[in-house]
Chain A
Amino acid sequence: MKVFKIILSLLLAIIACLLIFFSINALDLSALLKEIVPLETMQQDAGLEKAVKRINDCLADGNQNRALRSLNRLLDDYPDKVHLDVQTKLDLFFYRNNKVMLTLGVYVLFFSAALAVSAFLKQQKHQTAVLVAILVASLYAGIYIVEDLVGVNSMLMTVLKKGAIYALLAVSMNLLNGFTGLFSLGQAGFMLVGAYTYAIFTIENTSRAQVYQYYQGGLVQFTLPTLVAILLAGLAAAFFAFLIGLPVLRLKSDYLAIATLGFAEIIRAVLQYDGLGRITNGSNLLRKFTTFNTALFPFAVSGICIALIALLIHSTYGRSFKAIRDDEVAAEAMGINLFVYKQLAFVISSFFAGIGGALLAMYQTTVQAAAFTSAMTYEILLIVVIGGMGSISGSILASFLFIASSEWWLRFLDNVTYIGTFKVPFFRSGFRMVVFSVIIMVVVLFYRKGIMGDKEFSLKSLMEPRKGGKRRG
């Protein structure tokens, strides 16, 4: 069995390498063209020469798609003139299906790696760890391919991007509300701090005069690298959380909710204050800061952040957080300092909320303090509750479902629709939210503890027994 597995995985690996090799080394079109239409044949036919020239022109313009279309037409028009042997046919095939073949190669490689792992590694723990790594890698490869196929600005990619960001926000809120049992309503406030910190430090210097047109070009006159600014956004949010936590977390019961709700409202007003205009641009938009143009970026950042949170939760610190949630008095009697650990959970959660805010700013391409209302907090709280308090994978799942249905799947309910001559009743602008509310009520009624409860998605349910699975967005 083991030998068979190894041989199969080797075979697959060879196939994968061939696929990847060919698709990377696929001839470019002008070279391919010379192969297909030799110089002598071209000179014999004026029409053919013209067609070849058109393709070359398209290539010179950088319009790959049109070049490919022209080539297809050429092949249809002059089937007998072109020179097509097996070699050129193969080259043409790889040129046409470059991305798909590359993906296929990558996936086959992943699969063969998984097979090899299951053959070589004896220990269940190592096996699953490698399998999870392979799964995550193929997820990212999948996003890369899908993005290439459907286009960056398609609805699917929009939903995926926003879903990834909301997943991070929901997981960071879950760390506090679900795992530590502290009820905080300041998520929007910390996101706002993160978003503004990020935006202020990454506006290009040349655009500052334009963005801060009412405030003499602003005070900050330098630009930080994107990742540094994102980190700074998290730290800024964490700093505010630290200050709030100092007095509030020493008290028992739910003062934190009140304090954080107040903070979120106050910081929103403060950032719009005219006196701070040279930094925050008053109540005007902040724009022209660095954004991302591929969905891989938010996926990578929130993936790493969520993985860090998951690692934290499964560490001895995470166990202490859960102990505090279950019974404060007993936790204290076990030598866990309530204040320090609550403060720790609060600051870490806010740190990731700040990073999530920065990502959201990048996604929206503009930020305005007025948009970060408490409704945004409730939206994320809703995701956490639907996903399950105390479940990371639940939060991730719920945020993608939430974003997909609120942005995409229920859109049709907002349009006035006719079936034949019959006008569908109720279908008008705003009806989407009615249906959405009903769906949420149904979910809450039938899944009291959320979709996942406090369980985690794990490979256990798919294959062998295993404890404490993680899944990344």
Chain B
Amino acid sequence: MADSMLKLNNITMQFGGVIAVDDFSIVVKQNEIVAIIGPNGAGKTTAFNCVTGIYPPTSGQVFFENRLIVSNYPNKKMKALYAGGNKNFPKEKVCLTPDKITRLGMARTFQNIRLFKSQTVFENVLIATHLHQKCNLFSAVFRLNHQQEQAARKHAMDMLEVVGLLEVKDELATSLPYGQQRRLEIARALATKPKMLLLDEPAAGMNPQETAELAQFIRQIKERFRLTVLLIEHHMDLVMSISDRIYVLDFGRLIAHGTPEQVQDDPKVIAAYLGEDEE
């Protein structure tokens, strides 16, 4: 418990009558790489969005470094509609907004890349340094924060160097090839100086060689910035090679978890991915 970085307690997310995530609980310890896998539509990204505060879950709690960041129980019309597996609702309602959660030290990337389109690669990263600039409007306008600004620019450059995008720093973000856009998203997330990094399908659309490079890269930044990483992924090679533990979701339910070897051999997982034989 002491070294748990992120803890999800009985998260249920219900959209109208559809239960996207049902009674989902995980624990991520410090300095771990944990993966959530599952077929399309299993509710992986929904779980991510609940954790990062994009929308509150219908029921359940999220702790980040043992601090309650998200907590909700079925209310209003959800009270009658609620069909989740878990009936022990938390008492309080806490919904930190995504920016506050990011300030606590949790940064994320997006499945469908969300870069600031009209800005250059460098500016994209520079924006992420804003939350560490301690200046008010007045000092920002009259450039009294000159030193901070210099430090922020240097930090942004460092992050670009880490992901190897220094040569293209003045290009428009959207003009980069797909793989580099993914890297830029990671650089942007790193620029917020996070303790924990949430990666939503970082290898989507990459070829096997790029995927292998990415695995190497994730391990590298994890060591360098002492990060805890939670990732969603489809590429089995990537997940199996870098994860310490894996959670498997299917139709919103947790069907298996354990080390990569344990999960690989689990009949339920194989059934979920390959389809069950129905005689």
- Which residues of A does B touch, CB under 8 Å? 308, 311-312, 315-317, 319-320, 322-323, 325-327, 329-338, 344, 390, 454
Contact = CB atoms under 8 A, between A and B. Distances in A.
Nearest to B107: A333
Nearest to A320: B130
Contacts of A325: 118
Interface string B54-69: 1000000000000000
Contacts of B188: 334
B97 A337 contact: yes
B259 to A, nearest CB: 30
A352 to B, nearest CB: 13
Contact of A326 (B54, B119, B130): B119
B219 interface: no
Nearest to B124: A323
Interface residues of B, number: 37
Interface stretch (B29-37, B136-144, B238-246): B136-144
A312 B102 contact: no
Most chain A CB atoms below 10 A, which of B54, B130, B152: B130
B140 A316 contact: yes
B116 A326 contact: yes
Given A322-B119, A323-B116, A333-B107, A311 B142 contact: yes
Nearest to A336: B99
A319 B126 contact: yes
Q: Is the interface of A mostly helix, strand, loop or mixed?
A: helix
B126 A337 contact: no
B114 interface: yes
Contacts of A327: 114-117
23 contacts: A311-B143, A312-B141, A316-B133, A317-B137, A317-B140, A319-B126, A322-B118, A326-B117, A327-B115, A329-B54, A329-B110, A330-B110, A332-B97, A332-B102, A333-B99, A333-B108, A334-B128, A335-B99, A335-B128, A335-B192, A337-B97, A338-B99, A390-B118
Contact of B127 (A308, A334, A337, A344): A334
A162 B239 CA distance: 64
Interface string B181-202: 0000000110010000000000
A336 B130 contact: yes
A335 B141 contact: no
A330 B129 CA distance: 13
Nearest to A339: B97
A316 B118 contact: no
Given A316-B130, A330-B114, 10 more contacts: A315-B140, A315-B141, A322-B119, A323-B116, A323-B127, A329-B98, A334-B127, A334-B130, A336-B127, A338-B97
Contacts of A329: 54, 98, 110, 114
B131 interface: yes
Contacts of B102: 332-335
Contacts of A322: 116, 118-119, 123, 127
Most chain B CB atoms below 10 A, which of A325, A329, A334, A390: A334
Given A329-B110, A333-B108, A335-B102, A316 B119 contact: no
Contacts of A326: 115-119
Interface of B: 52, 54, 97-100, 102-103, 107-108, 110, 114-119, 123, 126-131, 133, 135, 137, 140-143, 145, 149, 152, 188-189, 192
Contacts of B126: 319
Nearest to A315: B140
A390 B123 CA distance: 16
Most chain B CB atoms below 10 A, which of A333, A336, A337: A333
Most chain A CB atoms below 10 A, which of B103, B119, B140, B152: B140
Contacts of A311: 141-143
Given A320-B127, A335-B130, A330 B97 contact: no
A312 B116 CA distance: 19
A454 B116 CA distance: 14
B98 A333 contact: yes
Contact of A319 (B54, B127, B143, B145): B127
Contacts of B118: 322, 325-326, 390, 454
B50 to A, nearest CB: 14
